[in-house]
Structure 1
């Protein structure tokens, strides 16, 4: 297992039991509450324990500091780059945890204030109640560093309207609080100054009854209206460009759209897209497309294979080059290999998706019912 530097005097995850309410607090604010092996272990431990506890009815997850969770601990992966399976245990556990959150038997509420990206967002989006504020920011930027859209988000994004999922996965574009509610990636928008009072009300409610929980949250909820310049108002362009068969065709179509009047917003997005890992982009697009035909458990098993093959540098070491450029040397000048989309061979990409031997596959526990992310956007402001 790759070593992670954690202050032994700091509890990275806090668990509290208050009558019928259970609180989980991510407590690494200086590290933006990134998901480390210790965090994964503690989250799984608390959730397993409380699901079996008849006195536990309502689970609330929140975070200290200015970030809910900035995603996986990239330095942990980078430090383990020379050991073939140094991160196998934490990756396996994280995918199990993602499935467990999706299929959890107790009522869950996420109070999301600040950054919620990548794997960190898997602690928000699947919740029945995910409350965001004007400070909330969501993105899945993994392809830009040579990785892929993971932790169940190939499934979730593939179920968004039109080709919005491909757009978010390939570009790493950010959505803010009201946009998250409009798409159904969050359930309620509450102004940040009201979040502490909402938390106290939920604790005093002392029940997991979903109607009661919903009623309390709605007392604090503000109606959502997205800004005129929101990317959610660009759906026709996104659908036109990101429905193309290949990344090369998507970029070509996006370039053509950028030249048209009123499409100045595309320039910055396109620039970021072209800077991303060609291998990461191709893997991500295929994964999103396959997810449309699969259920959640199948998507998680596929994502696990992809993750381990990327960490093993099966076809490319881009993920480590991406992490180096972003967080180690911070030069923001990654040297991708291969450096161009046309040099990423389909036969190589196939290798990343190949099933493992049965005993090496992800084996998530069978649940009585696979509760799927319910596509909350169908009843959202965005859909109407």
Structure 2
């Protein structure tokens, strides 16, 4: 169901049809990456419709072969010498909180790539519909960042140590695998997606039971393929439950030599090519996330992102973006270059809490505070250019 007023200039299209509201990510050539404008528009629609008594059901979808490939890395690279990306980072984490706690029934139709912050706009919803074209990944650690946008909260709640595995390796999952581990609720063949959308719109209701019944009319019972990573959980738990990145790699190497474990070689190769700093920060963040609330995870992730964008202990995030997205030579020169050079003292620095006024301002509980704590009401606009 294409937006009636689809405009190639609009990066996000919002529609109101009866009691149904639709958000369409509309940057197909850019794989619907998340820019400052995208965050502001999505947040604006969600806030407006949560307060609208006539809005009962929200549908989030996208145009093209990607739902969203995550944050706009070129935007971050362009802002590497100042804090120009601070606003979009603040707004994105603040938005993640509201997506997780959204009060209206919401459905994501995920037919394509959903990575990092893009997946964060779909996975937390009441209904997350995936297809045979869906590809999920959280590849941030591989480019020197950390697993962000609420995934330090989501991933530790997956079976066993699968969260650590996905965060450290950037491994991709398909729609069937997402269903199996609880990252999605329903699998619908892509050719049925438009019809499903039309049925949801014609239902004109936010009743969860009725919506679930409609989705189930179109959904299939699916199982992961025989060679899926989901069937290798015993090895993953054994290796990725180790205390440190170094011990994880050592344990994984030992498993690679065993018969039937040929799949490990390529995963190990990618793991060893990743940013040592990104890996260490990511592992600690995921481990802390096991015991943290959503708010605590988001505040922590905000600190980590800002400290990494400010190159507090390493400029790896920019080197990773350069190698993968700018020069595309796929040969990043990490600094430090080895895991043993990334000391626990260095990692501690990026986890240190900010002064109270500089923390991400997650709204306290209660309707009276809902949608409070916005960037423009924080101290940050007055600090632009002074950091």
Q: TM-score normalized by structure 2?
A: 0.93
Aligned to 1:97, what secondary structure does the other structure show?
helix
Aligned residue number for residue 70 of structure 1: 69
Distance 2:179 2:291 in 1: 25
CA shift digits 1:1-51 (9 cap, x unpaired)? xxxxxxx96100000000100000000000000000000000000000000
Distance 1:115 1:363 in 2: 30
Please report how far the alpha carbon of residue 228 of structure 1 lies from its aligned counterpart in structure 2 after TM superposition.
0.6
CA shift digits 1:66-123 (9 cap, x unpaired)? 000000000000000011x211111000001000000011000000000000110001
Q: Which structure 1 residue ranges, 4+ long, deviate > 4 Å from structure 2?
A: none
Aligned residue number for residue 117 of structure 1: 115
Aligned residue number for residue 147 of structure 2: 149
The answer to whether the 8 A contact 2:8-2:26 is kept is no
**Pairs within 5 Å for 1:359-370:** 359-368=357-366
Aligned residue number for residue 14 of structure 1: 13
Aligned residue number for residue 54 of structure 1: 53
Distance 2:197 2:216 in 1: 13
1:291 aligns with one of 279, 289, 292: 289
Give the paired residue count.
Answer: 362
RMSD: 1.1
Aligned to 1:232, what secondary structure does the other structure show?
helix
**Pairs within 5 Å for 1:117-136:** 117-136=115-134
Aligned residue number for residue 342 of structure 2: 344
Distance 1:367 1:137 in 2: 34
Q: Which runs of 5+ in 1 are unaligned?
A: 1-7, 371-384
Q: TM-score normalized by structure 1?
A: 0.93
Aligned to 2:366, what secondary structure does the other structure show?
coil
The answer to whether the 8 A contact 2:26-2:32 is kept is yes
CA shift digits 1:217-275 (9 cap, x unpaired)? 00001001111100000000000000110000000000000000000000110000000
Q: Which runs of 5+ in 2 are unaligned?
A: 1-6, 370-387
Aligned residue number for residue 254 of structure 1: 252
Please report how far the alpha carbon of residue 365 of structure 1 lies from its aligned counterpart in structure 2 after TM superposition.
1.5
Aligned residue number for residue 4 of structure 2: none
Aligned residue number for residue 36 of structure 1: 35
Aligned residue number for residue 138 of structure 2: 140
Aligned residue number for residue 377 of structure 1: none
Please report how far the alpha carbon of residue 367 of structure 1 lies from its aligned counterpart in structure 2 after TM superposition.
3.3
Distance 1:33 1:252 in 2: 38
Distance 2:268 2:152 in 1: 21
Distance 2:285 2:191 in 1: 39
* Residue 219 to residue 323, structure 1, CA distance change in 2 (3 Å): same
Distance 1:194 1:252 in 2: 45
Please report how far the alpha carbon of residue 276 of structure 1 lies from its aligned counterpart in structure 2 after TM superposition.
0.1
